[in-house]
Amino acid sequence: DTGVSQDPRHKITKRGQNVTFRCDPISEHNRLYWYRQTLGQGPEFLTYFQNEAQLEKSRLLSNRFSAERPKGSFSTLEIQRTEQGDSAMYLCASSYQGGNQPQHFGDGTRLSIL
Give the binding site for another protein (CB under 8 A). Answer: 4, 6, 31, 33, 40-45, 48, 50, 55-56, 59, 89, 91, 93, 95, 98-108, 110
Helix (H, G, I), strand (E, B) or coil at 86: helix
Q: Which residue type is seen at 99?
A: G
- Is the CB of residue 67 less than 8 Å from the CB of residue 34? yes
The residue (of 5 and 80) whose beta carbon lies closer to another protein is 5
The residue (of 61 and 80) whose beta carbon lies closer to another protein is 61
The residue (of 80 and 87) whose beta carbon lies closer to another protein is 87
Q: 10 Å Cβ neighbour count for 114?
A: 10
